[in-house]
Amino acid sequence: MAEGDTIFRLAAELRPQLVGHVVRTAWTTKNAGVGRLAGTTVTSVATRGKNLLTRFSSGLTLRTHLGMNGTWRTYPANPAGKRLDARVVLILELDDVIAACFDAPVVELFDTRSEAIHPVLRRLGPDLLDDAFEPSAALGRLRDPAFAETTIAEAILDQRVMAGVGNVYRSEILFIERVDPFAAVGDLDDPTLERVVVTAQRLLVANVRPGHARRRSTTGGVQAAAGQDLWVYGLAGRPCRRCGTAIRVASLGRELPRSVWWCPRCQAGQAS
C-alpha cells in the first residue's frame, strides 16, 4: 500500500529522472487534459502526504494519488516494440525516459497557483515528513470535537489529522504506544495522543532516511535484523513479540472498513 513514506521515496527516485526534462507527449486514460503538458519542463517532484505533485514550467501541477495498488515506473524512451500495459493510466514521455503510472485512481492537472485552495490538498493535516512538522498541530486536530467519539485507529488514518499514516503504520503506532485501537479519541489524555503523533512522525522519518533499506520496518534493532520488520500488522494469530498473546485482527470503519491488528494484552482496553 502507498503510505506517506512510499510516496516520499518514490518522489526521490523520480526527481533526478524527471526534473529539468521536457515533456514530449503526455497521455492518460483519465479526463485530465494532460496533453497540455507537451513542450513544458518538469520543475519539481514533491509530496503532500500520500499525494505525488509533479510541477511544470507552464504553471501546472499534476497530482497523482496511488490508492491501494498504484505505482510509477520509468523506462528508456522509445523502447522498440514495447506494448503498453493495460494497467497504465498515465504516460509522460520526456527527453530520454518514459514515466508510466499504473493503477492510480487519481490523475489530476490543476493550476499550481490554486494549490492553497485545492479541495483535497487544503483539507490535509500537517505532513509527517515535512521538515516543519509540529506535533502540536496534529494534536490540535485530534482534539477537534468532531473526533471525540471516533476511535483512535480511525482518527490517525484520517488525513485531515496528519498526512501520511496508512493502514500499516496505524496498527504499528498504536501497538508501540500500547493504545487500544478501539478507544475513543475523547477518552485518551493529551500525553497519550502526543505520544501517538510523535511515534507516527518518528517511524515515517526513519523509513525515508538516506541509506535506509527499501523494506519498511517499525521494529528496529535486533528485531528488524532478524527479518521481523513489523510488530502486529498482518500477523493475526501469531504470538505477540512482547507478551506471547495471539495477535488479533478486526475490521474497523463505517464508510471504508479497513483491518486493524493489535495485541489484546499489550493494548488492553475495549478491544480486549
Confidence (pTM): 0.90
**What are the φ and ψ backbone dihedral angles of 173, each rounded to 5 degrees?**
-60, -50
pLDDT at 82: 54
Q: Crossing angle for the helix pair 190-206 and 135-142, nearest 10 degrees?
A: 130
Cell of 185: 479519541
CATH fold match for the domains 4-123 and 135-262: no
Report whether 43 contacts 88 (CB < 8 A). Answer: no
CATH code of 135-262, in short, is 1.10.8.50
The domain spans of the chain are: 4-123, 135-262
Alpha helices per DSSP H over the chain: 4-18, 135-142, 152-155, 167-176, 190-206, 221-225
Question: Per-residue confidence of the chain (272 residues) as pLDDT tens digits?
Answer: 579 999 999 999 999 999 999 999 999 999 889 999 999 999 999 999 999 999 999 999 999 999 989 999 999 876 554 556 789 999 999 988 999 999 999 999 999 999 999 999 999 999 999 999 999 999 999 999 999 999 999 999 999 999 999 999 999 999 999 999 999 999 999 999 999 999 999 999 999 987 655 678 999 866 765 678 999 999 999 999 999 999 999 999 877 788 999 999 999 874 43
- Helix, strand, coil share (%) of the chain residues, nearest 5: 30, 25, 45
Q: Who contacts 256 (Cβ-Cβ below 8 Å, separation ≥6)?
A: none
Report whether 151 contacts 185 (CB < 8 A). Answer: yes
pLDDT at 224: 62
pLDDT at 256: 75
pLDDT at 1: 58
Closest CA to 181 of 228, 251, 91: 251
pLDDT at 272: 37
pLDDT at 79: 58
CATH number of 4-123, picked from 1.10.10.10, 2.102.10.10, 3.40.140.10, 3.20.190.10: 3.20.190.10
Cell of 96: 530520454
pLDDT at 271: 41
Single-letter amino acid, residue 41: T
